[in-house]
């Protein structure tokens, strides 16, 4: 059994590839919506956040031979918990992380974290569009929402919990863009024009996360881009290619089965 951290479109593709290659997969996701897509593909799914202890228990319960962590590049807590659990259980940990985007040039300010992004945006003023999700929304509302000469626009997934969070943080309804991507460069450009955006804040989520399209559209319109770096985690066995993950898994599972005398 492989315990597979999923939740993104590329993770789903990789899980399907592993399953079709003959591996038994248990995927884990945080939301029911993500689970629906995985179940449609015939994958077993556990829904819920897992602590390090939860991971260790799942490893024992399911006789897990390896963990494949294909979670979002910014799912730092989940990755750390899975990595630590694999060490405690003495099983291999394989990290799949989508390739980074290509834009790190003029017009882009790279920052280390969300607080630095908010502080930089505070100096920029104008219409600021967040494309960083709801989890860290409070970091921005606390610093930017009631500031003069700043309008904060939050673009996020159209989920009930996201809307409730916006209400809790007193983000005006007119400043919420509840929509699910991926989006083309043309769509992003139209959205920026609609709200007269002057600064766009995004994360270094990777090409699959459609960051290129967001950034290209912004730069063409002269919009300042603030990009938050990926979390710094010392991953073991890090790959950005499905084939490399499959090769590693095949080697690990074959070796483990041979040692157990099952082949």
Measure the CA–CA gap between 31 and 184, rounded to whole angstroms.
Answer: 25
3-state SS of the chain: helix, strand, coil percent to 5? 45, 20, 35
Q: What pLDDT sits at residue 207?
A: 62
104 CB-contact burial (10 Å; exposed 0-12 / middle 13-18 / buried 19+): exposed
Measure the CA–CA gap between 86 and 70, rounded to whole angstroms.
Answer: 15
> Do 27 and 2 contact (CB within 8 A), yes or no?
no
**Angle at alpha carbon of residue 45, lines to 41 and 51, rounded to 5°:** 145
Q: What pLDDT sits at residue 263?
A: 37
Q: What is the mean pLDDT of each run of 10 residues along the chain (263 residues)?
A: 90 93 93 87 92 94 94 90 94 89 72 95 95 94 95 94 95 95 92 98 75 89 94 85 94 55 37
Q: What pLDDT sits at residue 262?
A: 37
Q: pTM score, two decimals? A: 0.80
In this structure, CATH architecture of domain 2-99+233-259: 3-Layer(aba) Sandwich (3.40)
**Sheet bearing 126-130, strands edge to edge:** 108-111, 224-228, 199-203, 126-130, 150-156, 176-178
Decide which of 3.40.50.150, 3.30.365.10, 3.30.420.40, 3.20.20.80 is the CATH code for 108-228: 3.40.50.150
Structure tokens that stand for 229 in this block: 């770096």
Q: What pLDDT sits at residue 142?
A: 96
Tell me the domain boundaries of the chain.
2-99+233-259, 108-228
Residues ≥6 apart with Cβ < 8 Å to 155: 129, 130, 131, 177, 179, 191
């Amino acid at each position: 059994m492989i315990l597979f951290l999923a939740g993104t479109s590329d993770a789903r593709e990789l899980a399907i590839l592993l399953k079709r290659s003959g591996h038994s997969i248990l995927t884990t996701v945080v939301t029911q919506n993500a689970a629906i897509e995985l179940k449609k593909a015939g994958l077993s799914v556990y829904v819920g956040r897992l602590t390090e202890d939860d991971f260790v228990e799942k490893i024992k319960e399911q006789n897990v031979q390896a963990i494949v962590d294909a979670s979002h590049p910014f799912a730092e807590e989940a990755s750390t918990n899975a990595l630590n659990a694999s060490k405690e259980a003495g099983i291999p940990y394989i990290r799949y992380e989508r390739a980074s985007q290509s834009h790190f040039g003029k017009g882009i300010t790279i920052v280390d974290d969300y607080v630095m992004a908010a502080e930089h945006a505070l100096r920029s003023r104008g219409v600021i569009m967040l494309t960083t999700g709801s989890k860290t929304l409070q970091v921005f509302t606390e610093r930017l929402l009631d500031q003069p000469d700043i309008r904060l626009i939050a673009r996020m997934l159209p989920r009930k919990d996201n809307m409730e969070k916006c209400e809790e943080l007193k983000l005006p309804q007119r400043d919420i863009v509840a929509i699910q991507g991926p989006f083309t460069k043309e769509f992003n450009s139209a959205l920026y024009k609609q709200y007269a955006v002057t600064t766009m804040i995004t994360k270094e989520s990777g090409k699959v996360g459609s960051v290129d399209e967001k950034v290209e559209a912004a730069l063409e319109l002269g919009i300042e881009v603030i990009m938050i770096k990926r979390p710094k985690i010392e991953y073991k066995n890090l790959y950005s290619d499905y084939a490399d993950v499959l090769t590693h898994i095949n080697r690990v599972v074959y070796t483990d089965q041979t040692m157990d005398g099952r082949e």
